[in-house]
A = this chain, B = another copy of it.
Amino acid sequence: MAETPKTLTVELGERSYPIVIGEGLLANAAEYLRLAGVPDKSPLLIVTDDNAGPLYLAKLTEALTAGGYRALSAVVPHGEPSKSLDVYNDLITRAIEEGLDRSSAILALGGGVIGDLAGFVAGTYMRGIRFVQVPTTILAHDSSVGGKVAVNHPLAKNMIGVFHQPELVLYDVETLKSLPPREVRAGLAEMVKHGLIWDKAFAEWCRANAGRLLALDSEALAYGLEQGCAIKARIVSRDERENDLRAILNLGHTLGHAIEAVAGYGRFLHGEAISIGMAAAALIGEERGAAGLHAETVSMLEALELPVTLPADIGTEALMDAMQRDKKFREGRMIFIVPLAVGRVEIASDVDADTVRSVIERLKRSGEPS
């Protein structure tokens, strides 16, 4: 029998919202929307992709219709290329044609790509309408919380976006059962990241329970997702717009985003790229005095079957260039999140380019067959 759903709250004053995590929640979507104050007089638009859509769209639509909502849907191709201004424009056109108004809501049914894309539509259609996240990937326990929404620019990832908090995150963990194993692993990278930046015990729990997590054991998964969401929610509550603290969520992302871009979007999944980025950050931390940090971090990432080295064909200077275009660059300085120990990081703007270069080279050498 399914456990009772767990509810966490992202505390943001009048923009606070619940994250509901549990099995079989799609069937009760209408109730949860009503509780979250989504009106039923105006049409809803469900945005999904061609993987999640065929699996879960009918179920969600039926539940909403039975509950008195009028739910339209738009299915976009899966994958990072859909996070583009072109697909965004198509969705806006669709929303206008279907008569969505200021009382309408956009629902994102899918992973982080769908959440980011649909969220940017919701954040800008008529200067912002209601938004509901219905995540269906493990990674999306991270991306669906906190209100960062964006599309990519060909020159840089997530460059075009806004902060737009959802009214509700409805996380039906039953949907995770259809995830390909590689997507499972990539999602767990963001889960262990939450431990690495904030909670050593949780990072160690992820390592100890790696086998259960990889096998999608319901109990382990529910606990891990809850902890991950809870850490993210706490950080976002303290610094919604990333003026300071929230930046720690970017552990592994300065290099990670560069790897995604330089390798060509798709070769590395986001979670894989940031796993390598977290291994790099650990090396930087070690150079700044945290003995043994790299080995400890790598043991956690490898337990989750995540990559921790860089293929030799990824150009070091291309990575350096890409990092300079990233949002983590400010007033001419690169911003790195550097671990001090497992569970504790600092926001450093004094990591020089040569240190980064030499760390990249070390990650490449350690990837060579010995």
Contact = CB atoms under 8 A, between A and B. Distances in A.
Contacts of A42: 330-332
A366 interface: no
A41 B331 contact: yes
Contacts of A89: 85
The DSSP consensus for interface residues of chain A is mixed
Given A102-B330, A155-B97, A163 B325 contact: no
Contact of A93 (B125, B153, B161, B327): B153
A124 interface: yes
A150 B163 contact: no
Contact of A330 (B101, B148, B325, B331): B101
Contacts of A155: 93, 96-97
Contacts of A18: none
Contacts of A150: 127
B127 A41 contact: no
A325 B96 contact: yes
A69 to B, nearest CB: 13
Of A125, A160, A241, A332, the most chain B CB neighbours within 10 A belong to A160
Interface residues of A, number: 37
Contacts of A125: 159-160
Interface in A118-136: 123-128
Interface in A175-227: none
A126 B331 contact: no
Given A85-B85, A92-B160, A125-B160, A331 B101 contact: yes
Contact of A127 (B85, B96, B162): B162
Contact of A126 (B97, B101, B123, B159): B159
A74 interface: no
B126 A327 contact: yes
A128 B128 CA distance: 15
Contacts of A41: 331-332
Nearest to A156: B96
Interface of A: 39, 41-42, 85, 89, 92-93, 96-97, 99, 101-103, 123-128, 148, 150, 153, 155-156, 159-163, 241, 324-325, 327, 329-332
21 contacts: A42-B330, A42-B331, A85-B89, A93-B153, A93-B155, A96-B153, A96-B159, A96-B325, A97-B155, A101-B330, A101-B331, A102-B330, A123-B162, A124-B160, A124-B162, A125-B160, A127-B150, A127-B161, A127-B163, A128-B163, A162-B162
